[in-house]
Amino acid sequence: MGFLQIQLTNLLAILVITASSKSSLSATPPNFPIALKPNCTDHCGNISIPYPFGTTEECYQSHDFFVICNQTFDQPKVFFWNSSVEITEIKLDGQLRVLSFIAHDCYNRNGTSASYSGTLLQMPSFLTVNNTANKFTVIGCDTDGFIVGQWLDREYATGCIAMCSAEDDLTEGSCKGLGCCQISIPKQVWQVNLSLTSFHKYHSNVWNFDRCSYAFLVEEIAFSFSPENLTNLRNVENLPVVLDWAIGNGTCVEAQMNASSYACKSVNSKCYKPDNGYGYRCSCLEGYQGNPYLIDGCQDVNECEDPHLNNCIDIKHCVNTIGSFHCHGESLAFKLAAEISLGIIVLLLVAWWLHLGLKRRRQTKMRQMFFLQNGGMLLQEKISRRERSSNTTTIFSELELQNATNNFDNIMIIGKGGFGIVYKGFLPDNRIVAIKKSKEVDPNQIEQFINEVIILSQINHRNVVKLLGCCLETQVPLLVYEFINNGTLFEHIHNKTKACLFSWEMRLKIATETANVLAYLHSAASTPIIHRDVKSANILLDQTLTAKVSDFGASRLVPLDQTQLFTLVHGTWGYLDPEYMQTNQLTEKSDVYSFGAVLVELLTGKKVLSFDRPEEERGLVNLFLSVMKEDRLFEILEENVTREGNKKQLMKVAMVAKSCLHVKGNERPSMKEVATELEGLMLREKHPWVPTGHDEEAKGFLLDGEFSGAINVGEDNSTSIGFDSAKNHVMLLTMGGGR
């Protein structure tokens, strides 16, 4: 019996040694020389330059990897051939380290600034910024830093604010807003710019210890905040940033179709897709190491020379093979170890089966708990009262929606926004639906949420996306809508291909349909509804380009005895009502302002907020009101709009937009008046022979009152405007300014 115990102890020790050896294999790969092309420079100073990078044409894989070794410095430096970006390290695993400058904004007591900001990294197209190793960092006591650029196939913008009022506020190593803030950047970023703003040109409280603000992108492990950074960063020119590189912009399958250009040249190499960026990379197979981009670049590793790379009990029993190894003379020990392992596997399988049973029971209880917590009983009660209605809300189970979306696979995601994620789903009855998973629902407002679901499901308007039902078995309720398959109004305005086919007549029709929906929500619905996030991205279009207003995640029901609500400010920059921002008082006129911004977007084809425009023109609303004031409207209208639209009609639509954009809400028209005005303009365009009688004049004051008296169109097509709603208009976002 004692002998058997000793043998079992030895076998368990073998298993432990095996596990630790495998762990060491992944943690500490052996040091293996990197193969280089013949007659090629492999170093510039102390910086290694492995192929596919090279300093001459015969030494690099493609011109993308052409680097220059500049010998004019005290120590040689490496640069990309067409860039001032300095490279400090190149690694074959697809990463390289470069130096990026520090943007600064310094002020004298008289408010004079000495600043530098702009392009942080001007990178070749095959490079992307590593999204896990780097952080965007802002340092200062009244500093607002924005990082903007290209992400995937569209623009992105993000930033953070650093503030402090005394030097004692600052903490060594802490970068959470007091004097220093840091944020991550998304994947696939290939262009980086920044804008640095100070709130005050002179701040007596912080002048003695903070005269400058800084913003930079930096490798996270290379920078730790210190209060001294407020002064010593003036003497630092740049900091390290980690970039990801890859071959080309196609997939492995596409690259392998062209053998001559395929970069994975070694027989013992493989191709893989990087986690960040486009294109592909190469690596040596397991058991090989070296440079996979060169023929015979991946060589066999002798695992028997390193005890960390083999699990043999005695190194004498290790036999190296091509790409692997084996141990001889240990058959009895491994046989017993295998039997013990089999017993352990059986026990694990039994434990796994029991775990699954417990997990199913827990999931069932959780679903029941969430159903009750999310107001399921209340919703069922309200639905039972409406059984005779043809628009009864459907309560879906979580399993139904999991099956419809392939368990909420990322491939099924069709949109993301501030309030959640939208998935495309296929129901068993062949209906295609859009399933919205909200980020959060206030548990104290569950009854209001249920009322909202009931009311939205009863809205029967051809220009509102139909709410089909919901699922309450998840932590956050899921809403199920009809699926609209022709994209958003935002895409049709700003996508160059779609915009060319987007006529003025169609734009005016969509504007009129949207205005009618908002008028309906404000005044015709059983309980008035304020949308609270009207923007072109929330107006969907079907195959016939009919408008469908969507995304009621931020909407609020207005009790019949109230005209305004006090809420936290929600909305989107560029469309947000300035009066609502200042007072937190939400009214129907907040939707009117947002609709006015959409109308300007339709007229001009420009984005409501763009960092590509000059600083004073970044906000479209302010630009529009400025040109209206200066009688230069037709200078900013979209080309199709100018070419196809009736000039007098365009001017009237512009006046509608201008009226909607009054700073004071009580000076804006109602959505019903706006809809009436736009319908009248459409009718006159289609049927110019229809006389304008007294009844039509009384229909709405907009067309024949405020606007008609304010516009004078002469025979030379010149226009004059009789009033100025731009006066004292609030700038929603100002990127300039100083301390």
Residues with a known catalytic role: 533
Cβ-contact 47, 84 below 8 angstroms: no
**Sheet with strand 119-121: strands edge to edge:** 119-121, 189-198, 142-151, 154-163
Cβ-contact 654, 628 below 8 angstroms: yes
* Cα dihedral 44→47→51→55 (10° resolution): -20
> What 8-state DSSP symbol labels residue 55?
S
Cβ-contact 213, 139 below 8 angstroms: yes
DSSP code per residue over 468-492 = EEEE-SSSS-EEEEE---S-BHHHH
Cβ-contact 178, 227 below 8 angstroms: no
Q: Return the closest-CA partner of residue 548 out of 459, 429, 617, 477.
A: 459
Q: Which residue shows structure tokens 């109602």?
A: 670
Check the annotation: does 437 bind a ligand: yes
Angle CA(506)–CA(510)–CA(516) in degrees, nearest 5? Answer: 145
Cβ count near 131 (within 10 Å):
18
Q: Which amino acid is at 2?
A: G
Cβ neighbours for 365, distance < 8 A, ≥ 6 positions apart:
none
d(CA 49, CA 67): 9
Maximum Cα interatomic distance, the chain, rounded to a whole number of Å: 114
Give Cα 65 to chain centroid, integer Å: 30
E-strand spans in 353-457? 394-395, 413-417, 420-426, 432-438
d(CA 337, CA 15): 7
Cβ neighbours for 421, distance < 8 A, ≥ 6 positions apart:
413, 415, 436, 437
d(CA 296, CA 40): 17
C-alpha distance from residue 682 to each of 91, 655, 658 (Å): 63, 15, 18
Cβ-contact 437, 476 below 8 angstroms: yes
Q: Which residue shows structure tokens 């919901």?
A: 470
C-alpha distance from residue 397 to each of 368, 387, 435, 734 (Å): 11, 19, 13, 47
Known binding-site positions for ATP: 437
Known binding-site positions: 437
